[in-house]
Every structure is written in structure tokens, then in C-alpha cells.
């Protein structure tokens, strides 16, 4: 029977990794998970497909155009485009079954039919944590978020990084003080400052009616610097008296105090009054995280505090604070920057080679014993030349090979070959376990 052959390929904008990349990707994901779990976040796993009327209840915005939406039978379906809307839906739907504050993490793929562009993905992982309160949520939680970012990126070890923080009430209070009417628009303009620079921001602000005196104040405000305590001192003495501003400064000061209690070293976080996250629904603290040596990647982890998560689904007031790591994009960028260890194409630590078919049983027994000790191992019993078997171990990055010939089986001492040094020694099973552990 001759079969028609279809050229195997995947869609543009979708990431698929080779084994060594996937292992590296999963190592990063595991670090994120273990740090999320250590802080008491529980895993959630919402459906990929939801009812369009529910998922898109909030409506509008750029995102909606990108949603993968389709009918199946009579049902209007959509693929999730983020993990925040499903969380809002989840806590509303299961409100009476949950205890608040509710800490959840979700690491799942989301889908956006974006314009095709290098480094942009249509299917990508988000790694979200949120702490959702009922009616109120202590500022302790706002400090815990950067402490988790710190522990993750410290463990990931991609060099220095900085968590930049700001407070929306400070920005809003400041805009109020400047008598700017459209504060949301002003936020969006300010948000662009790293891309377009101060002058261009001032120009855009003047176009929405901000006078020269106020533009000068924007400049002064933006240029407030120093360590966290100095910035807070400056903000207190700047002479802005409106309540929102003062509340923002108070909250920021509390959060900074708690961050320090979480033992996040000073070098790893700073207040940056330019951080706005203008397009988002944040109402309090906002966070962005930058890898010092790879600023061009942009923020690798962003988030903030929101006053009410789920107004579209419930009358319950559910304030929360959370962050998201865009893992697919981060991985892509780290890979492009050659920052990843890609030398392992398998997790196997020992490859057992029976030299003849009659030794396969012995090889299997040895493999079983190693696995019982938690050592990832496998038997290679294919009819391949010895050199090809060595090549297999080499190419996959398996560090040790155990060779089973007649002498080895009789003496119960096995030839343990180190693939890096090419040295070979006779060892008992116990000795091999000790070495491989």
C-alpha cells in the first residue's frame, strides 16, 4: 500500500521545541512552579475552550480581535487569551467553595491570533499567580509578590535583575494635582517613556492640555531618584496634598517595609515612578522585572494590584494582586541570547549496553535496580554497532555508559564509562549507584 506523504510542519507563530530545548524549558517551568508552591499557591487548571459569551463578557479591546473564536454545533466557543479572565470566572463561579484569601497559580497555554512577527507567539505559556481577597486584602500580599519574583529569578540564575515598582494611586494623585482630566490617557502616555523618551511624553501631554508649568513638574517627578526610602521621603515632601497621592505613598511605604522583611536584598528592587502599566486594570502597586544584562527583552514578569477582579461575573468585591511570567517569549529570548544550557537531549544519567542479546536480561535487571535508587537509566538493546551506541550516548548527553559483557556479568563488576573523560572502570552495582546519585 503506497501512502500519500503530507509534509509535516506546524503553523507560524507556534513554538515547538527539540528535546534539549524542551528539557531546558521545563527546567525553567519547574523552578517557577516550586517557588509558587513554596509560597502556598495551589495549582488551577481551567479549560482551554470556554463559552464566548462568558470569556468575552468584559468585551472590547485589542485582545478580542485576536481571540480564536468559532462555532461547534450551536455553540459559540473561544480559546482563552489570558489566565486572568478564567480566574475571575472561576472565583465567581466557585465563590462559596473557596476560602479567601485565595492563592492560585496557573501555568497554561493561552492563544492570540496576533499578526505574525518574529518573537511573537500565537500560542504561549503564561505563568500566573494571584492572591484574591474578599472585600479586603492586606498589603503584606503586595510585598510577597516581588519576594516570589526575586526567589524565582535568583534561582533561574540569568544574571542580575531588578524588580521595578510603582503605585497607581501615586500616579493618579499626581495627575489629579496637575489637574489632568483624562488620567487613563496620561498613564498610557507616561507608560511609553522608556520607548519614546521624556520630551516626546511631554509633547503628547501638552497635546492633551497639560500646561508648561505642569510639564516641568512631570519632569521633576520622573527624576525623583535614590533608594526606596529616599524616594518615599521625596514623595512625602513634594507638597502634593491630595488624598489619593498620600494614600499611595503610605501604601508604597508599607509594601517596601514588608519586602525587606521578606529578605529581598535592596539591590534587586527599586521604586520607579515611570512604571505605569497603562493598558491594565491595576489600581495599586504595579511591578515590572528586567534582566540587567538583557534590557532589550523588556519586562520578564509584570503585574499589580487590582481593586475588583470579577465585577463582570459577581457582585462580590474581590480585590487581588498578581503577576505573570510570559514563559514562551522569555524562553525564546533567552535562547536567542544563548543563555541556556542545551547540552542534554535526555534526562538519562546512565545507558546500559548489553554486548550480546543473551545479556539483555542482565541489563534490564541492572536498569531496574538503578531506577529503584531514583537514577534515570535505560537499556539500549538495539542491534547497533558499538560505535553507534557510543554516539547515541554522546549526542544525547548521557554522562555514563555501563557495558555488560561476559566477564562483567560473571564478576558482578560492570564497566562504567565516563563519556566526558572517556575513562572506564570496573565497579560493583553499589559503587555505580553511589557515583550516579
- Residues 332 to 371 in contact with its own copies, rule: CB under 8 A: 345-348, 360-365, 367-368, 371
* Residue 324 makes contact with its own copies by CB under 8 A: no
Give the β-pairing of 102-111 and 42-43: parallel
CB nearer to its own copies: pick between 8 and 239: 8
Pairwise CA distance, residues 317 & 315, whole Å? 6
Interface of this chain with its own copies, residues 293 to 312, rule: CB under 8 A: 310-312
Q: Give, as ranges, the residues between 20 and 39 that touch its own copies (CB under 8 A).
A: 22-23, 25-26, 37-39
Q: Identify the residue among 228, 234, 299, 379 touching its own copies (CB under 8 A).
A: 379
- Decide whether 47 or 209 has the Cβ nearer to its own copies: 47
Residues within window 127-166 making contact with its own copies, judged by CB under 8 A: 133, 136-138, 140-141, 143-144, 147, 151
CB 225 within 8 A of CB 217: no
> What is the nearest approach in angstroms of its own copies to the Cβ of residue 245?
23
From candidates 198, 247, 381, 413, binder to its own copies by CB under 8 A: 381
> In this chain, which of 19, 298, 399, 405 binds its own copies, going by CB under 8 A?
19
What φ, ψ does residue 61 adopt, rounded to 5°?
85, 165
Q: By C-alpha distance, which of 173, 164, 144 is closest to 247?
A: 173
Contact flag: residue 97 with its own copies (CB under 8 A): yes
Nearer to its own copies, 179 or 395 (CB): 395
Q: Least distance in Å: CB of 13 to its own copies? A: 10
Does position 316 interact with its own copies (CB under 8 A)? The reply is no
Burial class of 125 by CB neighbour count within 10 A (0 to 12, 13 to 18, 19+): buried
Question: Exactly one of 64, 113, 222, 233 binds its own copies (CB under 8 A); which one?
Answer: 113
Q: Does 82 bind its own copies (CB under 8 A)?
A: no
Cβ partners under 8 Å of residue 429, min gap 6: 366, 369, 412, 414
Alpha helices in 319-400 (DSSP H): 327-336, 360-372, 386-396
300 in Cβ contact with 289 (< 8 Å)? yes
Nearer Cβ to its own copies (282/290):
282
* CB distance 103 to 41 below 8 Å: yes
Within residues 170-189, the interface with its own copies by CB under 8 A covers none
Please pick, from the candidates 81, 221, 377, 409, the single residue that binds its own copies as defined by CB under 8 A: 377
How many residues bind its own copies (CB under 8 A)? The answer is: 107
Rule CB under 8 A: say whether 193 interacts with its own copies: no
Rounded to a whole number, what is the distance in angstroms from the first to the last CA of the chain? 50
Nearest to 241 by CA among 321, 313, 337, 177: 177
- Footprint (CB under 8 A) of its own copies, residues 229-258: 257-258
Taking CB under 8 A as the criterion, the residue among 65, 70, 211, 230 binding its own copies is 70
Q: Does 14 bind its own copies (CB under 8 A)?
A: yes
Query: For residues 389-428, which are near its own copies according to CB under 8 A?
Result: 392, 395-396
Answer yes or no whether residue 74 interacts with its own copies by CB under 8 A.
Answer: no
The C-alpha atoms of residue 279 and residue 184 are separated, in whole angstroms, by: 8
Binding marks (x or -) toward its own copies, 35..64, rule CB under 8 A? --xxxx-xxxxxxxxxx-xx--x-------
Q: DSSP labels for 268-310?
A: GEEE-TT---TTS---SEEEEEEEGGGGGG--SSEEEEES-S-
Query: Quick check: 273 and 221 in contact, CB under 8 A?
Result: yes
Give yes or no for a contact between 285 and 321, defined as CB atoms under 8 angstroms apart: yes
Amino acid at each position: 500500500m503506497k501512502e500519500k506523504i503530507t509534509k509535516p510542519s506546524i503553523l507560524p507563530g507556534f513554538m515547538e521545541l527539540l528535546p534539549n530545548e524542551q528539557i531546558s524549558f521545563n527546567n525553567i517551568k519547574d523552578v517557577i512552579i516550586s517557588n509558587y508552591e513554596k509560597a502556598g499557591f495551589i495549582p488551577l487548571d481551567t479549560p482551554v475552550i470556554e463559552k464566548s459569551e462568558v470569556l468575552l463578557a468584559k468585551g472590547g479591546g485589542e485582545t478580542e480581535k485576536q481571540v480564536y473564536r468559532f462555532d461547534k454545533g450551536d455553540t459559540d466557543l473561544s480559546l482563552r487569551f489570558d489566565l486572568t479572565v478564567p480566574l475571575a470566572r472561576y472565583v465567581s463561579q466557585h465563590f462559596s467553595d473557596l476560602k479567601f484569601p485565595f492563592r492560585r497559580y496557573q501555568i497554561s497555554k493561552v492563544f492570540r491570533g496576533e499578526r505574525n512577527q518574529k518573537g511573537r507567539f500565537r500560542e504561549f505559556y503564561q505563568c500566573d499567580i494571584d492572591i484574591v481577597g474578599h472585600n479586603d486584602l492586606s498589603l503584606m500580599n503586595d510585598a510577597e509578590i516581588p519576594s516570589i519574583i526575586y526567589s524565582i529569578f535568583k534561582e533561574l540564575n540569568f544574571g542580575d535583575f531588578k524588580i521595578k515598582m510603582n503605585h497607581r494611586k501615586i500616579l493618579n494623585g499626581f495627575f489629579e494635582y496637575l489637574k489632568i482630566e483624562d488620567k487613563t490617557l496620561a498613564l498610557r502616555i507616561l507608560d511609553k517613556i522608556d520607548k519614546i523618551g521624556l520630551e516626546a511624553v511631554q509633547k503628547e501631554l501638552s497635546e492633551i492640555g497639560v500646561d508648561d508649568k505642569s510639564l516641568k513638574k512631570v519632569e521633576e517627578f520622573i527624576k525623583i531618584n535614590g533608594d526606596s526610602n529616599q524616594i518615599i521621603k521625596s514623595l512625602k515632601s513634594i507638597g502634593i496634598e491630595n488624598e489619593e497621592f498620600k494614600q499611595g505613598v503610605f501604601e508604597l511605604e508599607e509594601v517596601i517595609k514588608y519586602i525587606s522583611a521578606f529578605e529581598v536584598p535592596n539591590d534587586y528592587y527599586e521604586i520607579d515612578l515611570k512604571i505605569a502599566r497603562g493598558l491594565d486594570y491595576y489600581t495599586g502597586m504595579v511591578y515590572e522585572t528586567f534582566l540587567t544584562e538583557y534590557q532589550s527583552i523588556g519586562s520578564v514578569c509584570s503585574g499589580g494590584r487590582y481593586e475588583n477582579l470579577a465585577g463582570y461575573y459577581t457582585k462580590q468585591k474581590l480585590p487581588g494582586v498578581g503577576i505573570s511570567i510570559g514563559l514562551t517569549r522569555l524562553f525564546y529570548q533567552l535562547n536567542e541570547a544563548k543563555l541556556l544550557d542545551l547540552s542534554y537531549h535526555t534526562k538519562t544519567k546512565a545507558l546500559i549496553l548489553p554486548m550480546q542479546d543473551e545479556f539483555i536480561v542482565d541489563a534490564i535487571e541492572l536498569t531496574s535496580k538503578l531506577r529503584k535508587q531514583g537514577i534515570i537509566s535505560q537499556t539500549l538493546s538495539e542491534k547497533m554497532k558499538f560505535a553507534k551506541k557510543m554516539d547515541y550516548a554522546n549526542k544525547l548527553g548521557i554522562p555514563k555508559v555501563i557495558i555488560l559483557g561476559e566477564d562483567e556479568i560473571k564478576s558482578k563488576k560492570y564497566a562504567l564509562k565516563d563519556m566526558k573523560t572517556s575513562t572506564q572502570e570496573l565497579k560493583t552495582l553499589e559503587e555505580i549507584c553511589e557515583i550516579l546519585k
